[in-house]
Amino acid sequence: MAREIKLDGGEISLLKKIGLSGAQVYGKLLIDRTEGMETAEFLDTLTGLIDQGYVISNKVNIRLIEDVERAFFRVDAAYAKDLRDAVNPSRKRERERTQRERRR
């Protein structure tokens, strides 16, 4: 059963920068990829995704940008498919449309 996940713009852009494949991203690289975001917004969004369980980190406390630089991040595999659908809603609509066509 698919979960209905609602994401805001900052969460979507951060998830795209981390990648939805499940591969780890080094914190310094993640900071470099998101150079357009303010530091406070970046930290708030990242800790929100970690608190919800969508992103997994090897560090427990991520409070400062220095903590992010020394950590690794990846998307939780249990949520990866649902997060892909939330990041790209047209993909979900296409899959539902093809399932309806097969039922006929």
Interval 19-35: pLDDT, tens: 998 899 999 999 999 98
Residues 71-76, mean pLDDT to the nearest whole number: 96
Residues 58-68, mean pLDDT to the nearest whole number: 93
What integer pLDDT is reported at residue 39 of this predicted model? 93
Q: Which fold has domain 9-103?
A: Arc Repressor Mutant, subunit A (1.10.10)
pLDDT, averaged across the chain: 88
Model confidence, pTM: 0.83
Gyration radius of the chain's alpha carbons: 15
